[in-house]
Amino acid sequence: MSSPTPVPLPDAQVPPPGQTGVAEPADRSDGGRRILHEMLTSSWLVSVLAVVLALILGGVLIAAADTAVQAAAGYFFSRPGDLLSAAWTAVSEAYAALFAGAVYDPRAEELSRAVRPFTETLTVATPLILAGLGLGIGFRAGLFNIGAQGQIILGGIFAGYIGFTFDLPPVLHLLLCVIGAALGGALWAGIAGVLKARTGAHEVIVTIMLNNIAVYLVAYLLSLNAFQRPGSNNPVSPPIPDTAVYPLLLGSGFRLHAGFLVAIAAAVFAWWLMERSTIGFRFRAVGSNPHAARTAGISVNAAYVWVMLTAGAFAGLAGSAQVLGTERVLTAGVAASYGFDAITVALLGRSKPLGTVLAGILFGALRAGGVVMQARTGTPIDIVLVVQSLIVLFIAAPPLVRSVFRLPSPDTPRAPKPVVPVTAKEVTA
**C-alpha distance from residue 225 to each of 168, 289, 305 (Å):** 21, 49, 34
Residues 6+ apart with CB under 8 A from 247: 257, 258
Contact 378, 109 (CB under 8 A): no
Q: Give the nearest distance from C-beta 342 to other proteins in angstroms.
A: 24
| Residue 428 binding other proteins, by CB under 8 A | yes
> Closest CB to other proteins among 229 and 417?
417
> Closest CB to other proteins among 202 and 417?
417
Which residues on neighbouring strands pair with residue 248, listed in sequence order?
Answer: 257
| Residue 284 binding other proteins, by CB under 8 A | yes
| Residue 199 binding other proteins, by CB under 8 A | no
> Closest CB to other proteins among 10 and 106?
10
Q: Which of 168, 204, 298, 381 binds other proteins (CB under 8 A)?
A: 298
Torsion of CA 371, 373, 377, 381, to 10 degrees: -60
| Residue 403 binding other proteins, by CB under 8 A | no
What residues from 7 to 36 belong to the interface with other proteins (CB under 8 A)? 7-8, 11-17, 19, 21-26
Nearest to 124 by CA among 256, 291, 22, 238: 256
**C-alpha distance from residue 181 to each of 212, 314, 320, 322 (Å):** 19, 9, 6, 11
Q: Which of 204, 299, 378, 392 binds other proteins (CB under 8 A)?
A: 299
Reduce the DSSP state of residue 82 to 3 states and report it.
helix
> Closest CB to other proteins among 9 and 172?
9
Q: Give the nearest distance from C-beta 241 to other proteins in angstroms.
A: 36
Q: Give the nearest distance from C-beta 279 to other proteins in angstroms.
A: 6
Amino acid letter, residue 290: P
Residue 328 CA to residue 258 CA, distance in Å, equals 13
What residues from 263 to 282 belong to the interface with other proteins (CB under 8 A)? 276-279, 281-282
> Closest CB to other proteins among 36 and 244?
36
Residue 411 CA to residue 43 CA, distance in Å, equals 12
Which spans of this chain sit near other proteins (rule: CB under 8 A)? 1-8, 11-17, 19, 21-26, 41, 276-279, 281-282, 284-285, 288-289, 291-299, 412-429
